Structure 1
Amino acid sequence: MLVGGAGVLLGVAAVPAQAAEVSYRTECVPPPISGLPPVQGTTTVAVTAPAAAKVGEEVEVVWTFVQAASKNPDLVDLPANSVQPSGTLKAAGAQAADIAMRGPRENPPIPKGGAMVLSAMKGTLKLTTPGAVTLTPGAYAINAMSTDTKCAPQEAVQAAATINVTPADGGSGTSSPTPGPTGSGSPSPSPTGGPGPSGSPAPSGTPAPTTSGQTDFTGKEVQVPYKCKTPIGDKEATSPVQIDARRNGGSFDLTVRFKESVMDSPAEIPADSVKPSMEVVLGGADTGTVHVEGPTNAEPIKAGDPIEIPDLTGTYKPGASGESTLSPGVLTVEALGTTTTCTPAKTEVSLTLDTTQQPGGAAGGSSSGGSSSGGSAAGGSAGGSASGGGLAETGAEDDATLKALALVAGTAVLLGGAVFTFLPRRP
Structure 2
Amino acid sequence: MSALVKRLAAAGSLIAAGAALVLVPSPAYADTVTVNYSCEIPLSGTQTGDVEVTITAPATATVGETVDVTVTTGPIPILPPIDLDAGSVTPSGEVTVSGAQTGAVAVTGTPNPEPYPANQPVQLTALTGQLTLTTAGEVQLSPGAVNATATTIFGTFTIPCVPTATPTPVAAVISVS
Instruction: Report the alpha carbon displacement of residue 27 of structure 1 after superposing the two structures with TM.
Output: 1.1
CA distance in 1 between partners of 2:138 and 2:27 (Å)? 16
Q: Find the counterpart in structure 2 of residue 161 from structure 1.
A: 172
The question of whether the paired residues in 2 share the 8 Å contact of 1:20 and 1:48 is answered with yes
Answer whether contact 2:37 2:161 (CA < 8 A) is retained.
yes
- Superposed, 1:94-109 pairs within 5 Å as 94-109=100-115
Q: Distance in 1 between matches of 2:48 and 2:58?
A: 32
Q: CA RMSD in A?
A: 1.6
Matches within 5 A, 1:315-354: none
Structure 2 residue 54 is the aligned partner of structure 1 residue 46: yes
Q: Is 1:135 the equivalent of 2:141? A: yes
Does structure 2 conserve the Cα–Cα contact (< 8 Å) formed by 1:83 and 1:107?
no
- Where structure 1 has 5 or more consecutive residues not aligned to the other structure, the ranges are 1-11, 167-427
Aligned equivalents of 2:104, 2:25: Cα separation in 1: 21
Provide the C-alpha distance between the structure 2 equivalents of 1:95 and 1:62, rounded to a whole number of angstroms. Answer: 18
1:93 alignment counterpart: 99
Verify: 1:27 aligned to 2:38, yes or no.
yes
More relative contact order, 1 or 2 (CA 8 Å, 6+ apart): 2
| Deviation at residue 68 of structure 1 after TM alignment | 1.3
Please tell me whether residue 69 in structure 1 is matched to residue 80 in structure 2. no
What residue number does 1:148 align with?
158
Alignment-mate amino acid for residue 161 of structure 2: C
Distance 1:144 1:19 in 2: 29
SS in 1 for 2:57: strand
* Contact 2:71 2:127 (8 Å CA) reproduced: yes
Q: 2 CA distance for matches of 1:30 and 1:106? A: 18
User: Aligned pair 1:15/2:26, yes or no?
Assistant: yes
Deviations 1:264-322 (A, max 9, x none): xxxxxxxxxxxxxxxxxxxxxxxxxxxxxxxxxxxxxxxxxxxxxxxxxxxxxxxxxxx
TM-score by length of 1: 0.34
Q: Which amino acid aligns with 2:39?
A: C
Please state whether the residue corresponding to 1:108 is helix, strand or coil: coil
Native 8 Å contact 1:86 1:141 kept in 2: yes
| Equivalent in 120, 125, 143 of residue 126 of structure 2 | 120
CA deviations on 1:141-189 (whole Å, 9 max, x unpaired) are 11111211111111131010000001xxxxxxxxxxxxxxxxxxxxxxx
Please show how residues 2-401 of structure 1 align to structure 2 within 5 Å.
15-31=26-42, 34=43, 36-70=44-78, 72-73=79-80, 75-145=81-151, 146-156=156-166, 157-166=168-177
CA distance in 2, matches of 1:19, 1:100: 18
Partner SS, residue 38 of structure 1: strand
- Residue identity matched to 2:144: G
Q: What amino acid is aligned across from residue 108 of structure 1 in structure 2?
A: E
The whole-number CA distance in structure 2 between the counterparts of 1:13 and 1:96 is: 28
Superposition TM-score, scaled by structure 2 size = 0.79
Residues 149/140 of structure 1: CA separation in 2 closer, same or farther (3 Å cut): same
**Could you tell me which amino acid in structure 1 is paired with residue 171 of structure 2?**
A
Give the SS at the match of 2:123: coil
SS of the counterpart of 2:52?
strand
Provide runs of 4+ in structure 1 moved above 3 Å: none
1:203-231: CA deviations, max 9, x gaps? xxxxxxxxxxxxxxxxxxxxxxxxxxxxx
User: What's the CA shift string for 1:58-79, capped at 9, x where partnerless?
Assistant: 0000010123124x33x31111
Tell me if the contact between 1:141 and 1:151 (Cα under 8 Å) persists in the aligned partners. yes
Amino acid paired to 1:154: T
Distance 2:74 2:37 in 1: 14
In structure 2, distance between residues paired with 1:90 and 1:13: 28
Distance, in Å, in 2 between the alignment partners of 1:134 and 1:69 is 25
Which structure features the higher share of strand residues? 2
Amino acid corresponding to residue 169 of structure 2 in structure 1: Q
How far apart are 1:115 and its partner, in Å? 3.3
Contact 2:72 2:127 in 1 (8 A): yes
The one-letter code matched in structure 1 to 2:96 is: K
